[in-house]
Structure 1
Amino acid sequence: MATADTGTLVPAIGVRLIATTDLHFHVWPYDYATDRPAPAVGLAAAAETIAALRAEAPATLLFDNGDLLQGSALSDRVRADWEPGQGPHPLISAMNALGYDAATIGNHDLNFGLRYLRDALADAAFPVVSANLVHRRDGGWETLLPPTALLRRTVSDGEGGEVPLTIGIVGMLPAPSASWDRLVLGRDVETPDIVAAVAAVLPGLLAQKPDIVVALCHSGLMDGGEPGENAATAVAALDGIDVVVGGHTHEVFPGPAVPEGRLHGKPAVIAGSHGRQIGVVDLRLTRIGDRWRPIDAAVRTEPVSPVPDAGDAPEWDALRPYHARVLADVRRPLARLTAPLSTRFAMIGAAPAGQLLGRALRDHAAARLAGRPEAQLPILAATAPLMAGGRSGPQNYIDLPAGPITRGFVGQVYPFPNPVCLLRLTMRDVRDWLERTALAFRRIGTGPPGPLLTDAPPYLFDTIWGLRYAIDVTAPDGDRIRDLRLEDGTVLPGTAQVVVAVNSHRASGAGGYEAASRGTLLDISPTTLQQIFGDWLARKDRVTPDATPIWDFAPAPGRAAWIDTAPCPVGHVPDIPNRRLRESGEGSEGFCRIVIDL
């Protein structure tokens, strides 16, 4: 029971909100890239945890917060093989069976284009909302999906009766989303500012007098993103929003810094990624006037437990043939590594996986430009390490022995279905590109060693192959690149032109790489980067990964910093050219701490 302002006792009811986010089409608890089980990952395992959470509470609602349809080898296979005439989209069909109440979309749900998105969502038995995905129509702009939804449910009053409850839902995705997929979406789709879009539709939703309003906000808390990318905190500040379900950044919230799970005093939750956690918001509501209003909330993320028979239930039957095809595909041999390959030190330049991909991209560019004047320009390639630690933890690395590699390796290096763009840029643009890369490092002063890396994820750390350069981590941001030259030692003026091969996402300027968006687009590959890389490896048959850094830290005598990486055998620090490393013991959250003398 709760006490009203008059001091009289009024009834209180409880409602549990359950949320998944950033599933990225992870269904079975299986890692296709490494071809081995991944316990406690994926929607099939999460479904068991969801069922247990539902059984504990008399009234529950289940939401998904976007980045659902893309992000795994399974998503790529379904996209290639599924047609609407075959029946409902197999993942949406499974979500219908699980009883989802509402969802929004994320930026990666746009990767396959609007037609695929519409076809996939056509048979959803739950509303899918987005306030800031708009398309051009009849000379104006209108939302592609309903911006809001109103759910009407009946819940127990705890005393043997039932009461009606109305839940308003509003959805949103990062403002740069349309620009990130401009090559796929064209100019007739935009994703305007989150806060402005939500503020515009809230009055209409509130006019329907919902008891509570839940923001399905595919956007995070982190600093360092692009303008308009991470706006969950700003959304929580809007009058009329009662609960925020966040996502996009794959972070987990509440966390050690904010254990109570509040943004501007309102309950908020972000449940990581890939179905490893489930977001839980337990609301307690009391009657105030003619509405049930929140008076208290408990927020947490629930880790998903391993489930031995995950995926055996009938709701996964439609996906099972695709799963079998993916397993056959990722087990297909491609080539042999003549030496071990590890990404443990990719963030300090020892990036053998990136080196192989860079070679493949440069060969691709040379072939595509053959016979064109641009073929005479220096050809470079930009790559970033996706599996190099970061917030995904000490298991987020590639570690392979010498020997055969399969197609699963391609998915480890680059899991997205983007084409390759060839850009003509100036060396001044290239320098600016590298200055953006150098933001991954903190400014290092004198004194005891501190952390070298910022909180930026590894996928924002580009290496441009075909160059040599140094990064001065003692210098201010924007003035860190030193001794920039081609790999043969040639120093070019800032006006000199070069060609850079890069995935289409980065070519759009995504990740704050505005310099990339200045380039003149020379070519777009007819196939994906994954296909190009896999075919290149197959043609080579035997490849030698090289962990020698192509860039150096500018000398800074007397200064040192540390990085956290995957655990190494005690007393064994690898010998990386031009890097003076020493072990410093155990780092945070299972990482191994290595000190770098600059």
Structure 2
Amino acid sequence: MADSPSVHLSRRAFLSGTAAGSALIALHPYSAFAATGQAHLRILETTDLHVHVYPYDYYADRAVDTVGLARTASIIDAIRAEATNTLLVDNGDFLQGNPMGDYIAYERGMKDGDMHPVIQAMNTVGYDAATIGNHEFNYGLDFLLKSAAGAKFPIVLANIATRAGGNPRKDTTLFKPYAILDRMMTDGAGNMFPIKVGIIGFTPPQVLNWDRKNLEGNVTARDIVATARAYVPEMKEAGADIIIALSHSGVGSADESEGMENASVPVAGIDGIDAVVTGHSHLVFPSETFADHAAVDSAAGTIHGKPATMGGFWGSHLGLIDLMLERDGAGWRVVTSSSEARPISQRGEDRSVTPLVEDNAAVIASIAKEHADTLAYVRRAVGKTSAPLHSYFALVADDPSVQIVSIAQKWYIGQMMQGSAYEGLPILSAAAPFKAGGRGGPEYYTDVPAGAVAIKNVADLYLYPNTVRAVKVTGAQVKDWLERSAGMFNQVTPGDSDQPLLNPEFPSYNFDVIDGVQYRIDLSQPSKFAPGGEMQNPDANRITDLSFDGTPVAPDQEFIIATNNYRASGGGAFPGAMGDTTVFEAPDTNRDVIVRYIVEQGTINPSADGNWSFAPLPGTSVLFQTGPQARSYMADLRGITIQDAGDAADGFAQFRILL
């Protein structure tokens, strides 16, 4: 069993064995050399766990070495032993994100007094505090509150309120806005002194759009930075010696703007905040990824000079902030700091993954039943597919994994529009690949062989528990929707060879393919929209030959587009999908619709219909990376000339497209 939080913060460790008993652990220099009146406080962070407790990929139905709180917990045990005083926090997005989360939400349910498995695992590890991420709202407020009730640690969230007041401090917040942890600190001479550690939490205010169905009329959201400025003085008044911000918000712009999604840089600049743990964007900080960000020192691990960390996602890393504190009268102040993020595995040059830690047996045992129940849940067959379902080429060609989602959505909305005011309008369907490599790595692709289709495969096709929506748009909005999607690609120079195709700043889940129309993408044109959705080239026209049933789409022509609640509510900032065009909100999730479609059809044919392609650019070629298993499916591609271009870095394979 893990120690209680009060023990974490008063332990004195010297050389000791690791959890596996195979090596010695040395004290961090701050602990080893702290003088009388000085104390080392280590803050350990997990973020974006997304229910990944076991080192197991439920979609692929196999054990893996790259994820899992059970693995991260082994690091936690060892790293606690390196420091005299420690605190363990989680930065949110722990309730949703893999089939275990869906099994609990949709199959088992949460009654009063029930324990959610990820909370059970976190209790076993011994967290000191946590905040709420945006995905905690995916299953509704009742589910969230019943799940959070089992936590043996405070959960804080300052910018989501059930009743708004005249300012943030007068809000009635959904969770406590902050907590003041009373702990005992051991200094360099072994003396113990009290300390008050303030913990405050934030989540992106965009949750009101992303989960409008669950939140509209129930809660309000405030700007993260304004909320932080309001509460920090109150926390100081309450006696906080130091304040740690749990910012479920990425490391973005240093320029503050109202309603920022990724607000961790301005948060770090607020007087009174001593350290910031970040997350949401599934990246690692400190790292070279942030080398060019204003106010960020990626080498020192600071933002506005304050220590910060981001521990990857799914338990891949443990974020660490080390603070050297000094007694200042009756309180404490930070005199120096350091930051890092430690991985649970490493990938070799031969693409193999080497685990750096073993399972924590107590964490594994704590949810063994729920793990077994989840395996049974995901292995149920619901139908058959006559052809493989894969996403290896989803970003460069019409794709079977996206096609089947589009077909199922269109089938469902077609039924829902019958008898409505919109019956008779042509129905299109928009879908994007969720598993398309990128930051997820060379194995992060959908790959379902022909044959039986189980629930685990449907969850693999559609990663998030979104609900179906329908929007009514014009032909001009259809074109701009596709222009926004085409920002996935870099502009290329006609006649040049082997130019990089994909924009690494553009997430795959924003690459919508609209089924039901035909179109081409002219890569010689600049992108009309920036990766974040801002207009940057108003006169650009990447989308050409846009037609419906063989006839050019007219700007004022009306369509229904089947999509999801995230997109329809403004997620990704797509023209025609900003929350004001919704004409139908389904009670069913996109996954449920896919399952129903497969069950009704018995055997599905997921072959892509090739409704989009790149416009020809003779003598021009581009390069893109995908998973090595893509080579098995090259012969199935339509409307594209592609060549194997060998291996790329980090385990990916490289392909050449002749335009």
How high is the TM-score relative to the length of structure 1?
0.92
Whole-angstrom distance in 2 between the partners of 1:209 and 1:512: 42
Structure 2 residue matching 1:347: 3-state secondary structure: coil
Whole-angstrom distance in 2 between the partners of 1:100 and 1:484: 56
Whole-angstrom distance in 1 between the partners of 2:561 and 2:584: 11
Change (3 A) 1:226 1:180: farther
1:276 aligned residue (313, 316, 324): 316
Whole-angstrom distance in 2 between the partners of 1:554 and 1:374: 33
Match of residue 436 from structure 2? 388
Match of residue 300 from structure 2? 260
On the 8 A contact 1:394/1:565 being kept in 2, the answer is: yes
On the 8 A contact 1:537/1:543 being kept in 2, the answer is: yes
Whole-angstrom distance in 1 between the partners of 2:114 and 2:389: 43
Residues 124-133 or 384-393, more deviating: 124-133
Whole-angstrom distance in 1 between the partners of 2:193 and 2:633: 64
On the 8 A contact 2:110/2:143 being kept in 1, the answer is: no
On the 8 A contact 1:226/1:511 being kept in 2, the answer is: no
Change (3 A) 1:431 1:47: same
Whole-angstrom distance in 1 between the partners of 2:74 and 2:363: 14
Whole-angstrom distance in 2 between the partners of 1:110 and 1:569: 35
On the 8 A contact 1:466/1:486 being kept in 2, the answer is: no
Between the two proteins, the alignment pairs up a number of residues equal to: 592
Match of residue 458 from structure 2? 410
Whole-angstrom distance in 2 between the partners of 1:141 and 1:176: 18
Whole-angstrom distance in 1 between the partners of 2:431 and 2:230: 39
Match of residue 510 from structure 1? 571
Match of residue 382 from structure 2? 334
Structure 2 residue matching 1:230: 3-state secondary structure: coil
Change (3 A) 1:309 1:560: closer
Residue 477 of structure 1, CA deviation: 2.6
Residue 518 of structure 1, CA deviation: 5.3
Match of residue 271 from structure 2? 239
Partner amino acid, structure 2, of 1:162? M
Structure 1 residue matching 2:571: 3-state secondary structure: coil
Partner amino acid, structure 2, of 1:206? K
Whole-angstrom distance in 1 between the partners of 2:629 and 2:121: 41
Structure 1 residue matching 2:570: 3-state secondary structure: coil
- Whether 2:103 is the aligned partner of 1:53: answer no
Change (3 A) 1:223 1:384: farther
Residue 535 of structure 1, CA deviation: 1.8
Whole-angstrom distance in 2 between the partners of 1:538 and 1:226: 46
Whole-angstrom distance in 2 between the partners of 1:165 and 1:444: 58
Change (3 A) 1:226 1:272: farther
Residue 572 of structure 1, CA deviation: 9.3
On the 8 A contact 1:40/1:307 being kept in 2, the answer is: no
Change (3 A) 1:48 1:311: closer
Residue 549 of structure 1, CA deviation: 3.6
On the 8 A contact 1:391/1:457 being kept in 2, the answer is: no
Residue 21 of structure 1, CA deviation: 0.5
- Whether 2:252 is the aligned partner of 1:228: answer no
Match of residue 474 from structure 1? 524
1:17 aligned residue (10, 19, 43): 43
- Whether 2:384 is the aligned partner of 1:352: answer no
Whole-angstrom distance in 2 between the partners of 1:351 and 1:373: 32
1:146 aligned residue (176, 181, 187): 176
* Structure 1: gaps spanning 5 or more residues: 4-8
Match of residue 552 from structure 1? 613
- Whether 2:649 is the aligned partner of 1:594: answer no
Whole-angstrom distance in 2 between the partners of 1:307 and 1:152: 34
On the 8 A contact 1:473/1:480 being kept in 2, the answer is: no
1:217 aligned residue (229, 236, 247): 247
Residue 396 of structure 1, CA deviation: 0.8
Match of residue 184 from structure 1? 214
User: Over aligned residues, Cα RMSD in angstroms?
Assistant: 2.8
Whole-angstrom distance in 1 between the partners of 2:580 and 2:190: 67
Partner amino acid, structure 2, of 1:393? G
TM-superposition CA deviations, 1:168-200 (whole Å, max 9, x none): 111111121111111111134222221111111
- Whether 2:145 is the aligned partner of 1:118: answer yes
Whole-angstrom distance in 2 between the partners of 1:569 and 1:483: 28
Change (3 A) 1:87 1:329: closer
Match of residue 362 from structure 2? 313
Change (3 A) 1:198 1:340: same
- Whether 2:62 is the aligned partner of 1:36: answer yes
On the 8 A contact 2:42/2:83 being kept in 1, the answer is: yes
Structure 2 residue matching 1:456: 3-state secondary structure: coil
Change (3 A) 1:312 1:541: farther
Match of residue 105 from structure 1? 132
How high is the TM-score relative to the length of structure 2?
0.84
On the 8 A contact 1:82/1:89 being kept in 2, the answer is: no
Q: Aligned residues: percent identity? A: 38
Spell out the pairing of 1:128-167 with structure 2 (5 A cutoff).
Answer: 128-136=155-163, 141-167=171-197
Match of residue 524 from structure 1? 585
Partner amino acid, structure 2, of 1:221? V
Match of residue 6 from structure 1? none
TM-superposition CA deviations, 1:269-322 (whole Å, max 9, x none): 1111111211111222223454322232232212225599847537854x4433
Whole-angstrom distance in 1 between the partners of 2:272 and 2:621: 49
Match of residue 532 from structure 2? none
On the 8 A contact 2:397/2:640 being kept in 1, the answer is: no
On the 8 A contact 1:425/1:519 being kept in 2, the answer is: no
Whole-angstrom distance in 2 between the partners of 1:493 and 1:119: 50
